Chain A
Amino acid sequence: MSVAIHMPAVRSPADAVLITGVGVVSPLGNSFNDVADALLAGRSGVCSVPAADFAREQTQFAAPVDLIPEPPAGICPDAAEIARLGRLERLCLAPIAAALADAGLRPGQGERRIGLVLGLGAEQLKSWELDFLAGGSDVFEPRREPTIVHRLARLVGIGGPAVTVAAACASSGYAMALGRNWIDAGWVDACVVGGCDILSPTAIAAFYNLRALSRRSDDPTRASRPFDRDRDGFVMGEGGGFFVLERRQPAADRGARIYGELAGVGMSSDAFHMVSPCSDPTQAARAISEALADAGIAADEVDYVNAHAAGTPVGDAAEAGAIRLALGAAADRVPVSSTKSMTGHLISGAAAFEAVACLAAIHRNAVPPTLNLDSVDDACRLDHVPHMARDHRVDVAASNSFGFGGANLCLVLRRAA
C-alpha cells in the first residue's frame, strides 16, 4: 500500500535539513562574505536611479544589483545559451550555479536526485515587460513556453522536480519551505531553493501608485527606515539568494561546508485583504510560533529576529505586534533588525536574502543593524538594533516574511550541531 508523506515529528540530527551551499546577488555584493561584511558594517545599497529608466518624472530611489556575476565554470556548460538569457534569468542563474558550486554538487553527474524550487512572484509580468521594453511583442501573442524554472533546471542539469512558487514578498521563503518538504518526503536528495527579483518600471510604478513606496527625495540612503517614526514606505531593491538543502550524511561524505540548519518553518494566511496586512497579529504570530515549534525551540531560545519590516507604516506596526504576541516576554530581549534598511525590499528575493543575513549573524556572532532607526515608533517597541551592528552570539535566528494576499512565513535557522 502507499505511504502517506509526513514530516518527522521530532528530528534526529540525521533528519536535519542543512544548508550546504549559498549563492547570492544583491545590492550589497554577490558572495556570502561580501554580503556579511556589508550588513555588519551597516552599508546601504540604496541610490538614485535614472527616472527615465523607470517611467517616472522624478528621481527614484532604489537598490539595484550593479553587476550580475557569471555562473561558476563547470555548472553551466552552454555558454551560448547563457548569452541568450534575459536579465531576470541571469539574475536567478548566477546564485543557483554559485550555490551548487559552493556545495560541491554537479547536477547530472552521479545518482543524486536534485530538485529546484524558485520563488518568483511575477515571472510572467516581468518577462512580458522586459520583452516589450526590448521591442518584443510576447505579451500580445499566445505562447506556452516553459517557465524560467524549467529553463534554468535544464541549463544546470537538474533533473528532479522543478517548481515556481509565488507568495508575493514571501516567495523565496516559501520556496525554501517547499524544498525542505521535498527532502523530508524523500522526493529529492538535495534541493536548490531560493528566489530573486528585478527592478522594473511597471513594478515601481505599481507599488508607487499603491502608495507603498517611500516618497522621500533627499538622501537615498536615508529613505528606507523600518520601525522609525518617520517611515513612509519601502524602497525597492533587486537580487536574492539560493541555497542547497540536503541531509547531513551526504554533505559530510563530500566534506561540504555546513552553513546552518533550516530548522523550522511556519506558514499561515491572514485571510483578510489582498494588499493590507491584518491589524490582528494572530495569524502572523501563528507562523512564528509554528516555526519555533517545528524547530523544537522555545521563544526565549531565539537569539535574533530578522524582521520583514519594509518600512511601511501599517506593516511594521503589525509585525511588531506579531513578534510580541509570538515571543511573549522574550520580545523585550531578543534583538530585532530589518536589513531592508540597507538593501531595500527585494520582493520575491527578500526572504532568501534575509536568510543569508541570518546565516551571517550566526557565523559572525553579530546582529546586523536597522539603518535610519532614529526614533522608534511607539507601535513598534522591541529590542531594536539601530544604526550599528551588535556583537551577540547567535545560535538561532528567526526570519519573518509577509506578502500581499496575507501570506505569512517564518523560517528558523540554527547553527549546525
Chain B
Amino acid sequence: MNTPESTAASLAVASHATVEASLSRLAALRDQPVPESAPALPGRFLRHCDEQTVVGVRAVLEAIGRYPGPRPSFERFGVVGSTCGAGRISAAQTLAKLPTGGGVVVSPHVVPQCSLHALASAVSVGLGMKGPNIGTSGGPHAVSEGLIAAISLMGRQDCEGVWLVATEWAGELLLDATGLPTNDPSCRGLAIAITREADAGLGLTLHCGSHESGCHETAGDSSGDPVGSLAAFAAALEMCRSGEVLESWSHRCPWGMEVRIASRRRGVVLDRDRSSPLREAA
C-alpha cells in the first residue's frame, strides 16, 4: 500500500487572479475588453454564457495578464472548471415557463452553457487550450473537487499545465417564481495556473492524509466545504504571492486529503509533516 510519503504532489502556482462582480455588473463584464496583456476572446464570446462562466473566464484573463516571466502559449494546458450552483437562473426561468410553454421554451443554450462542463469548455474554446477540459463538483465541495481533479490531471506528461477555475455565488442568489433575481449578490471566480515548475511562483502541495479520518464526515450536513472556502483560498494565494505571510494555508477535503500552499519566494518550503513547523530552505 502506498504511504502518504509517496503520494504527495508538489506543484507550482504560476499565476492566479480573482474576479468578483455583482449580478448587476455582469452584463457589462460580458462585453468588457480583455486586459491589454491577455489574449483576445472571439467577438461576443461570453454573450450566452452563464454568470459563473463569465467571472471564471475573466479571472483566467486577469491571471494570464499577470503571468510572470515568459508566458507559455497555453495550448497544451488543460482546464478544470469547478462551479457551485451554476446555471440556476437559466434553469429557474426555463422551468417556470415549461408547464405552460412546453418544450419550445427550452433554450438550445441551456445544455452547452449551463451544464457542469460549460465553464471549462468556455475557457478552452475561448482561449485555445487543447489539453483536457472538464467540469467538476457543482456543489459545496467545489474547491476540494477542483483541486484534486486539477492535480490528478497534472500526472499526465502531455499536460503542460492546468488552469483550475473555481466559481461561486459569494452571497445568496434569491429568485422569484419566474426565475428573476430579486437581489444583487456577487459572483466570484478564482483562476489558478498550475504547473510543474517547482521553483516558480507559489508551492502547491497536495498532502494525502488518511482517508479514514475523513470518511465524508461533512457530507451528511449542508456545510460541505466551509462556506467561504473559495474566498479563503483566493486570499491565501494573494497573501503568499505578496510574501505577507510565511505560514502556509491548508484546505482540508472532506475525505481527509489536505492541500497546502506556501510561498517559496523567501526560501520557505513546507514540511510535509503536519506537526512540524515550516523550516528555512538550505
- A-side residues, CB < 8 A to B, are 1-7, 9, 54-57, 111, 113, 115, 120-125, 128-129, 132, 139-147, 150-151, 153-154, 158-168, 171, 174, 178, 181-182, 184-189, 201-210, 267-275, 283, 286, 290, 403-407, 409
Chain B CB within 10 Å — which of A122, A124, A160, A269 has the most? Answer: A269
- A271:B129 contact, CB within 8 angstroms: yes
Measured CA separation A178–B92 after assembly (Å): 32
Contact with A along B114-133 (1 / 0, CB 8 A): 11111011101101111111
Q: Is B192 positioned at the interface, with any CB of A under 8 Å from its CB?
A: no
Residue of A nearest to B223 (CB): A144
Contact with A along B222-257 (1 / 0, CB 8 A): 111001000000000000000000000000011111
- Interchain CB contact (< 8 A) of B111 among A160, A206, A267, A286: A206
Q: Is B184 positioned at the interface, with any CB of A under 8 Å from its CB?
A: no
From residue B73, how far is it (CB to closest CB) to chain A in Å? 12
Q: In the complex, which residues of chain A have a beta carbon less than 8 angstroms from the beta carbon of B111?
A: 122, 125, 168, 203, 206-207, 210, 404
Q: In the complex, which residues of chain A have a beta carbon less than 8 angstroms from the beta carbon of B206?
A: 5
- Interchain CB contact (< 8 A) of A150 among B104, B106, B216, B269: B216
What are 23 pairs between A and B in contact, CB < 8 Å?
A1-B272, A55-B106, A123-B116, A124-B86, A139-B88, A140-B175, A145-B139, A147-B141, A158-B216, A161-B257, A164-B145, A166-B117, A166-B134, A168-B111, A181-B155, A210-B112, A269-B79, A271-B129, A403-B117, A405-B117, A405-B121, A405-B133, A406-B124
Among B4-12, B24-32, B59-67, the stretch that binds chain A is B4-12
Measured CA separation A215–B227 after assembly (Å): 46
- Interchain CB contact (< 8 A) of B141 among A150, A167, A405: A150
Q: A142-B85, A404-B111 are in contact. Are A5 and B152 (CB under 8 A)?
A: yes
Measured CA separation A1–B282 after assembly (Å): 12
Measured CA separation A125–B135 after assembly (Å): 14
Measured CA separation A140–B176 after assembly (Å): 7
Q: Is B212 positioned at the interface, with any CB of A under 8 Å from its CB?
A: yes
Measured CA separation A132–B92 after assembly (Å): 9
Measured CA separation A336–B2 after assembly (Å): 39
- A163:B132 contact, CB within 8 angstroms: no
- A167:B135 contact, CB within 8 angstroms: yes
Q: Is B138 positioned at the interface, with any CB of A under 8 Å from its CB?
A: yes
- Interchain CB contact (< 8 A) of B7 among A164, A165, A187, A407: A187
- Interchain CB contact (< 8 A) of B196 among A4, A182, A268: A4
Q: Is B108 positioned at the interface, with any CB of A under 8 Å from its CB?
A: yes
- B121:A404 contact, CB within 8 angstroms: yes
Q: In the complex, which residues of chain B have a beta carbon less than 8 angstroms from the beta carbon of A150?
A: 139, 141, 216, 219, 224, 254
Q: In the complex, which residues of chain A have a beta carbon less than 8 angstroms from the beta carbon of B269?
A: 1
- B156:A181 contact, CB within 8 angstroms: yes
- B133:A162 contact, CB within 8 angstroms: no
Measured CA separation A154–B224 after assembly (Å): 13
- B255:A274 contact, CB within 8 angstroms: no
- A4:B10 contact, CB within 8 angstroms: yes
- A5:B155 contact, CB within 8 angstroms: yes
Contact with A along B180-215 (1 / 0, CB 8 A): 000000000000000010100000011010011011
- A270:B116 contact, CB within 8 angstroms: no
Measured CA separation A159–B135 after assembly (Å): 22
Q: In the complex, which residues of chain A have a beta carbon less than 8 angstroms from the beta carbon of B127?
A: 271
Residue of B nearest to A182 (CB): B152
Measured CA separation A132–B222 after assembly (Å): 20
- B130:A274 contact, CB within 8 angstroms: no
Known: A7-B156, A166-B138, A185-B155. 15 other contacts (CB 8 A): A1-B272, A2-B270, A3-B8, A4-B10, A121-B116, A139-B95, A166-B134, A174-B134, A181-B153, A187-B152, A206-B111, A269-B78, A270-B125, A405-B133, A407-B117
